[in-house]
Chains A and B, each alone.
Chain A
């Protein structure tokens, strides 16, 4: 069966510090990978998605970037965090376009102070 991992689970970082969140998927190959953010009291905002190694599509211009160095690894980064980057970050995988479901990891709670 497929498993998706995210770490760390929680993170408190000062403004201006760098960020690196990692996501890995097990049990499948060539998945589509996604980074979402859920701000407090709001829905899920798609930040980036990737259909293959090195292929990144950005949905929202912002202070973040994503990379996919390996087939089942997806990394979310920032060089300098802003207060507005605080939120709950979720990684997901899917098989699209044939299968539409996306499956989410446990999430990372980021607080920028």
Chain B
């Protein structure tokens, strides 16, 4: 059962504009959320995270928003750059005893020049 869902398999955005990636989850026990970026034939790299006690976390061009009541989070990339073209995975973790992450299926972002 997919507990983390990224319902948009792809996103195309013009360079300089905002990219918004969405992620929904079903498990109310999740209390920490992460975004990873992955280029083809490479391992994912950690991008940004947010704890459930916060509703926003910002790091440079990347901002993650969390809406716990809706079980929804989003990643904003502003401004989008050609190097941002990659697959983005949303991940979530449960209680502090849980060593595992649950990943979404990923969203492929293409930044057009």
Among A11-19, A70-78, A97-105, the stretch in contact with B = A97-105
B106's partner among A43, A100, A104 (CB-CB below 8 A) is: A43
Q: Given the complex of chains A and B, what is the CA–CA distance between A102 and B43 in angstroms?
A: 11
The residue in chain B whose Cβ has the minimal distance to the Cβ of A6 is B43
- Size of chain A's interface in residues, with CB distance under 8 A? 27
Q: Given the complex of chains A and B, what is the CA–CA distance between A56 and B76 in angstroms?
A: 37
CB pair A46 B101 closer than 8 Å: yes
CB pair A90 B99 closer than 8 Å: no
Q: Given the complex of chains A and B, what is the CA–CA distance between A32 and B42 in angstroms?
A: 21
Given A43-B89, A43-B106; A105-B99 close (CB under 8 Å): no
Among B14-22, B56-64, B65-73, B90-98, the stretch in contact with A = B90-98
Give, as a whole number of angstroms, the nearest-CB distance from A111 to chain B: 13
CB pair A97 B96 closer than 8 Å: yes
Give, as a whole number of angstroms, the nearest-CB distance from A71 to chain B: 16
The residue in chain B whose Cβ has the minimal distance to the Cβ of A44 is B103
Given A42-B105, A100-B93; A49-B100 close (CB under 8 Å): yes
B34's partner among A59, A100, A107 (CB-CB below 8 A) is: A100
Q: What is the count of residue pairs linking A and B with beta-carbon distances less than 8 angstroms? A: 56
CB pair A107 B41 closer than 8 Å: yes
The residue in chain A whose Cβ has the minimal distance to the Cβ of B45 is A104
**Chain A residues whose C-beta falls within 8 Å of the C-beta of B96 in the assembled complex:** 97-98
Give, as a whole number of angstroms, the nearest-CB distance from A74 to chain B: 14
The 3 closest A-B pairs by CB, nearest first: A104-B43, A43-B105, A44-B103
Residues on A facing B (Cβ under 8 Å) = 6, 32, 34, 42-46, 49, 51, 59, 88, 90, 92, 94, 96-98, 100-107, 109
For this complex, 25 residue pairs linking A to B, each with C-beta atoms less than 8 Å apart, are A6-B43, A34-B100, A43-B89, A43-B105, A43-B106, A45-B103, A49-B99, A49-B100, A51-B99, A88-B41, A96-B98, A97-B97, A97-B99, A100-B32, A100-B34, A101-B34, A101-B46, A102-B46, A102-B101, A104-B44, A104-B45, A105-B43, A106-B42, A106-B43, A107-B41
